[in-house]
Amino acid sequence: MLVLERKIGQKVVIDNGAIEVKVLKPNGDMIRLGFKAPQNMDINKEEIYLRKVLQVPEFLKPVVRNHETRRRK
C-alpha cells in the first residue's frame, strides 16, 4: 500500500490526472476528501462498495429465501 501525507488543500493525482483526490478539511477524527473523476467511474465508501458487491442478484433471491427457511427449521 502506498502511503502519502497531504496538507489541507493539497491533492493526490491518479492515472495521469484522470482522478484527483483533494484533502478538504478535518472534522473531528474524520477527514473530508473531494474526488474529481470521470462520471463513468464508481467511487464509494468501503461499506457501500461491499454492500453492492455482496448484494444477492434478483434471480437468486427465491433460492436464498428457500435456503434460509430450511435452515431455521
Q: What is the pLDDT of residues 4-61, one digit of tens each?
A: 999 999 999 999 999 999 999 999 999 999 999 999 999 999 988 888 888 877 787 7
Do the domain assignments include residue 30? yes
- Whether residue 59 is contained in a domain is answered as yes
Nearest C-alpha neighbor of 11 from the set 39, 37, 29:
37
Domain assignment of residue 56, yes or no = yes
Q: Say yes or no to pLDDT of 72 above 80.
A: no
pLDDT at 54: 82
Report yes or no on 32 lying in a domain.
Answer: yes
User: So what's the pLDDT on residue 64?
Assistant: 63
Q: Determine the structural domain holding residue 18 and report its residue range.
A: 11-72
Find the angle CA(56)-CA(42)-CA(29) to the nearest 5 degrees. 95
User: How many domains, the chain?
Assistant: 1
Residue 2 placed within a domain: no
